A and B are shown apart, each in its own frame.
Chain A
Amino acid sequence: MRSSKKSKIGFGIFVTVTVLIMIFPFVWQAVTSLKSPGEIFRVPPSIFPDKLYTQNYKDVFTAGVPFHWYLRNSVIVAGLTTLICLIVGSFASYVLARFKFRGQALFLGLLLAVAMFPQVAIISPLFLFFRDIGLLNTYPGLILPYTTFALPLTIWILTSFFRELPVDLEDAALIDGCSPFQSFYRIIVPLAAPGMVTTAILVFIFAWNEFLFALIFNTANHMRTVTVGITMFPGLHEVPWGTIFAASTIITLPLVLMVLVLQKRIVQGLTAGSVKG
């Protein structure tokens, strides 16, 4: 135990460095977003803005890019993706948690396959198909693929939550004459509300952050989502970093706050599928 004090200090330094590396880029983004265009290009960069320059945040909404549309599109697409995933996913998870049926292994294999799927492998047929039936530059054109790729995660997390709920309540409901469907949405769904919240956050973040499909399917300016939108700010001579980081801060801050408040739940959800097998 001689080295305990030394190792404690070493430990503290290690933790501090880790925290700094993880946090610094996000802080730097916020700092840069509050600098004037002149100050942004100063060499070497100033650590704190000379004075808080809020014009960047106004420019986000007025500098020729309809950022409020991007925000609206992202909220709608990510919100509806989350809703559909929860509905479709909770049905599937319920039977996976409660029943043994033929084809169960096949279905689980299907989920695993999609979770490992490279999205790029299906963009050509989906693009042609969506073009032919008029789904390019629409919300469903993004919601459909997002739902597909978020379903495995949704089902894994919800199944692990449903498994932990006591079966007795459902049995009682069945004896009282509830149909399996009624016992599902009257008893299971309300009890699993915390699991639903966890799942909802993870799916929402996935859909909010997605880039490839959004870049390819929604190319009309009024249908773009925020991730594609922030790569679209026009610069006269230089990249308008101040405006870009103001926009970036706007679209990241809600996620960061949500994550900080609900961190335990999120970690629980993230690891639900992988630890139990």
Chain B
Amino acid sequence: MKSRSYLPYYFIAPAAIIIFGIALYPILHTFYISLHQINLKFPDLGMSFIWFENYIRLFRDVRAMSALLNTIFFTVSTVALELIFGMIIALLMDRALRFRGILRATVLIPWAMPTVVAAMLWRWMYNDQSGIINAILVATGVTTEYLQFLAEPALAWVAVIVTEVWKTTPFMALLLLAGLQVIPREVYEASAIDGASKIRTFFTITLPLIKPVLLVALLFRTLDAFRVFDVIFVMTGGGPGNSTESLSLYTYKTMFGALDFGYGSALSILTFVCVILISVLYIKFIGTKTR
């Protein structure tokens, strides 16, 4: 029986080693690099230890702080919209047995598309001359002239957020639907007999019952939105100016544009710390609210 007691460790060893080697150890190494000055433009200079200078620079860097604020803005607005639309679609799928198949099939299309492809496509649909969105807006009288969507900060934000929400709402909807399906039908019937309105039933019965699933879905979407890169890289490149630049994009430009790996690593650590803070907040919330 001795050999058997070690068995689980042999079985998880490959996965544990890969995860440790490619994710956990490197994050410590990122921190190590962030304490150094290292620029690949000047390979002869090598690495020199500079304590927390990169972090001091970070807090004085207006562009880094605005990238952080942009990322927070993007995360909050997309996740909030996804929650609303995801919930509506989930409720539709839960009620409409006849349409469930077709709805499920169609929401999986945006989900399955590569983000880069979706971003390219929406960038084209937002085109200021031949874009279909401008054509629709003018044809329906919402606007009188074609808008330069990606050339104006506020409109560029709208464009990017709509794209992200379109792409990721399906994931939210499917998770919420799975939560809804666990609720026994009798609960709704009882509520209807008691004369509760549909809206009241939703807030007093449905919502509390799917709260655990909802929080998990929110956590994953929040963390995913916080590391946003592809959509912004393809649609605006962070522009106009740096108005839509996210933390990940600024980090990428710092490392692979300016080749400043030391400072880029400090930016990476900033993203990492934010992600940990978000997770801790959510997990605390999940822990207290489900009990």
A263 touches B108 (CB 8 A): yes
Q: Which of A120, A123, A248 contacts B120 (CB 8 A)?
A: A248
Q: Which of A149, A264, A271 contacts B178 (CB 8 A)?
A: A271
Q: Complex formed: what's the CA distance from A151 to B171 in Å? A: 19
Q: Which of A88, A128, A211 contacts B14 (CB 8 A)?
A: A88
Q: Which of B7, B179, B216 contacts A180 (CB 8 A)?
A: B7
A270 touches B261 (CB 8 A): no
Contacts of B23 in A (CB 8 A): 113-114, 117, 122, 148-149
A34 in the interface (beta carbon within 8 A): no
Q: Complex formed: what's the CA distance from A61 to B277 in Å? A: 46
B115 in the interface (beta carbon within 8 A): yes
Contacts of A111 in B (CB 8 A): 19
Which one of A22, A110, A148, A180 has the greatest number of beta carbons of chain B within 10 Å?
A: A22
A139 in the interface (beta carbon within 8 A): no
Q: Complex formed: what's the CA distance from A266 to B8 in Å? A: 28
User: Which B143-172 residues sit within 8 Å CB-CB of chain A?
Assistant: 166, 170-171
B204 in the interface (beta carbon within 8 A): no
B14 touches A92 (CB 8 A): yes
A251 touches B106 (CB 8 A): no
Known A116-B279, A230-B120, A277-B212; judge A148-B175 contact (CB<8 A): no
Q: Which of A41, A117, A216, A230 contacts B275 (CB 8 A)?
A: A117
Known A11-B96, A118-B227; judge A275-B22 contact (CB<8 A): no
A22 touches B106 (CB 8 A): yes
A125 touches B33 (CB 8 A): yes
B142 in the interface (beta carbon within 8 A): no
B121 touches A245 (CB 8 A): yes
Interface-lining segment among A42-50, A163-171, A192-200: A42-50
Q: Which of A15, A25, A212, A231 contacts B122 (CB 8 A)?
A: A25
User: Which A62-104 residues sit within 8 Å CB-CB of chain B?
Assistant: 88-89, 91-92, 94-96, 99, 101, 103-104
A-B contact count (CB 8 A): 263
B110 in the interface (beta carbon within 8 A): yes
B115 touches A209 (CB 8 A): yes
Shortest B25–chain A CB gap in Å is 8
Known A216-B256, A277-B212; judge A255-B12 contact (CB<8 A): no
Shortest B153–chain A CB gap in Å is 22
Q: Complex formed: what's the CA distance from A116 to B171 in Å? A: 16
Q: Complex formed: what's the CA distance from A2 to B177 in Å? A: 28
Contacts of A26 in B (CB 8 A): 109-110, 113, 121
Query: Contact mask B266-291 → A, CB, 8 Å, 1/0?
Result: 00110110010001000000000000
Shortest A19–chain B CB gap in Å is 5
User: Which A227-246 residues sit within 8 Å CB-CB of chain B?
Assistant: 227-228, 230-231, 241, 244-245
Shortest A136–chain B CB gap in Å is 12
B24 touches A110 (CB 8 A): yes
Which one of A122, A124, A126, A251 has the greatest number of beta carbons of chain B within 10 Å?
A: A124
Which one of A91, A211, A251 has the greatest number of beta carbons of chain B within 10 Å?
A: A211
B72 in the interface (beta carbon within 8 A): no
Chain A residue with minimal CB distance to B134?
A44
A248 touches B121 (CB 8 A): yes
B59 in the interface (beta carbon within 8 A): no
B113 touches A255 (CB 8 A): yes
A29 in the interface (beta carbon within 8 A): yes
User: Which B92-109 residues sit within 8 Å CB-CB of chain A?
Assistant: 92, 95-96, 99, 101-109
Known A144-B22, A216-B256; judge A19-B113 contact (CB<8 A): no
B223 touches A99 (CB 8 A): no
Contacts of A231 in B (CB 8 A): 116, 120, 234
B171 touches A270 (CB 8 A): yes
Q: Which of B12, B22, B265 contacts A145 (CB 8 A)?
A: B22
Query: Contact mask A195-215 → B, CB, 8 Å, 1/0?
Result: 000000000010011011000
Known A28-B121, A32-B124, A95-B11; judge A15-B99 contact (CB<8 A): yes
Chain B residue with minimal CB distance to A271?
B178
Q: Complex formed: what's the CA distance from A230 to B226 in Å? A: 25
Chain A residue with minimal CB distance to B247?
A120
A124 touches B30 (CB 8 A): yes
Query: Contact mask B116-127 → A, CB, 8 Å, 1/0?
Result: 111011101100
Known A92-B12, A148-B19, A151-B15; judge A25-B118 contact (CB<8 A): yes
Contacts of B213 in A (CB 8 A): 274-275
Known A123-B268, A266-B108; judge A19-B102 contact (CB<8 A): yes
Contacts of A43 in B (CB 8 A): 129-130, 135
A21 in the interface (beta carbon within 8 A): yes
Task: Give me the 4 closest cross-chain CB pairs, A-B, nearest first.
Answer: A125-B29, A271-B178, A209-B114, A44-B135
A-B residue pairs in contact (CB < 8 Å), sample of 19? A15-B102, A15-B103, A22-B110, A44-B138, A45-B135, A94-B11, A101-B5, A115-B220, A121-B268, A123-B268, A124-B265, A125-B265, A127-B255, A144-B22, A230-B116, A255-B114, A256-B109, A267-B174, A271-B174
